[in-house]
Amino acid sequence: MRIKVEIDNNSGFCHGVIRAVETAEKNLSPRRNTSSERSTVAGGNKSCPDVRDTAHLYSLGAIVHNGSELERLKTKGLEVIDIEQMKSLHNTSVLIRAHGEPPETYRIAKENNISLIDCTCPVVLQLQKKIRETPGQIVIFGKMGHAEVNGLVGQAEGRTIIVENAGVIAHAEQPTNSGGIRGSRRADACSLRSQPSALNNYPPICNEIDYTKPINIFSQTTKDPGEYEHICAEIKKRMAPGVECTVHNTICRQVAGRHSKLVEFARSHNVIIFVSGKESSNGKVLYDLCKAANPRSYNIQSLKQIDKKWFKNNDTIGICGATSTPKWQLDAASKFLKISLNDYICARFYTLIYGNYRRF
């Protein structure tokens, strides 16, 4: 008795993450062999050598929101730091991940003689440029505290409004003296200030949506296109008469294209195993799509979380993941299931028939 396991060909790292990880690996290989010195930024001596450190490579924030991949890169010499730790570094190299950074980060690097290995995704760079060049009121559909969103906020000095979902707009309406409707952002649902650690070093954001003034709407590049469309519609219907609302299509095409394909993939299998890190914003969006399309969808971070009771005889199992899920992790899940699950089903079958199959 066998089961069938298939990996979704559209899952795995997006181009931006592939570029960042490959760049990190290329820079790590020579660094680990050229010097035995080690500069620390967490505990012990926080000072750095006077010459540029060639023994270490720092990543400003997690290069990818996947614990297993981070552990793999850590063994190669990559160390994740935050912005406060970066301020204490001098004469070294720091990698900027695909999510991008605000202008303040580049200023700190220049002052501290830090060489930046900039792996900001080209799609994110274009979005940053658009926001920087757009005047007036800016609404960003995105996850509060997300690295990409922090970088976008920094492009427009205090002119950005973060909206996480349509519910925030619906529950935050206040009439204005001019007869329009003003959406007041709630601190717990619509302001990055609700997460002080996320924005201590970034420019402030404004406090409310003013529907009596022109609005430009942008989206975090990895968000759900359908939800973005819904939010834009909610904002548009609240605009004062004659006031312009401009919607910018800023969701990554590669990411957006995965949504419909993933739904089809989830529906075509009995069980879905979705592999993704807990911190992955894109992972949450994609897993929710899988769960809606197939109730027998399960989100895991490691193979240890797989429960054999999820499966039945003759099941077809689909394995998929987020843009932050490495291919090797999808392959590992496939091999694990093909070996352990088939053996498990055989064990159950023979135990049922013969009552003495004791392999497991």
Spatial distance between the Cα atoms of 17 and 99, rounded to a whole number of angstroms: 9
Q: What 3-state DSSP class applies to 300?
A: strand
pLDDT band at 311 (very low <50, low <70, confident <90, very high): very high
**Strand-strand pairing, 173-175 and 181-184:** antiparallel
Taking only the tens place, the pLDDT of each residue in 243-282 is 999 999 999 988 888 888 999 999 999 999 999 998 888 8
Asked if 175 contacts 181 with a C-beta cutoff of 8 angstroms, the reply is yes
Q: What 3-state DSSP class applies to 299?
A: strand
Specify the residue for token string 């700190």: 108
- Asked whether the predicted pLDDT for residue 76 surpasses 80, the reply is yes
- Residue 256: how many CA atoms within 13 Å on its side-chain side? 14
CATH class of 123-247: alpha beta
CB count in 10 Å sphere of residue 144: 20
- Spell out the domain ranges in the chain: 4-11+253-354, 15-121, 123-247
Q: Which helix (H) or strand (E) holds 265?
A: helix 253-267
Mean pLDDT of the chain: 81
- CA-based diameter of the chain, in Å? 81
CB-based burial, 300-316: b 16+ in 10 Å, e otherwise:
bbebeebeeeebeeebe
Predicted pLDDT at 348: 55
Spatial distance between the Cα atoms of 147 and 16, rounded to a whole number of angstroms: 14
Q: Which helix (H) or strand (E) holds 149?
A: helix 147-153
Taking only the tens place, the pLDDT of each residue in 173-184 is 544 444 433 333
What topology is assigned to 15-121 in CATH?
Rossmann fold (3.40.50)
Specify the residue for token string 């717990």: 188
Spatial distance between the Cα atoms of 223 and 247, rounded to a whole number of angstroms: 15
Predicted pLDDT at 345: 54
Instruction: Kindly name the residue from 25, 148, 157, 227 that is annotated as catalytic.
Output: 148
Higher per-residue confidence, 13 vs 53: 13
Higher per-residue confidence, 169 vs 44: 169
Cα 224 from chain centre: 12
Q: Which of 116-120, 226-230, 308-312 has the highest mean pLDDT?
A: 116-120
Mean pLDDT across 340-346: 65
Spatial distance between the Cα atoms of 78 and 73, rounded to a whole number of angstroms: 6
What topology is assigned to 4-11+253-354 in CATH?
Cobalt-precorrin-4 Transmethylase; domain 1 (3.40.1010)
For the chain, percent of residues with pLDDT exceeding 90: 62
Examine domains 4-11+253-354 and 15-121 and report if their fold is the same: no
Predicted pLDDT at 174: 45
Specify the residue for token string 């135990």: 351
Taking only the tens place, the pLDDT of each residue in 278-304 is 888 889 989 999 999 999 999 999 999
Predicted pLDDT at 254: 84
Predicted pLDDT at 344: 57
The reply to whether 148 belongs to the active site is yes
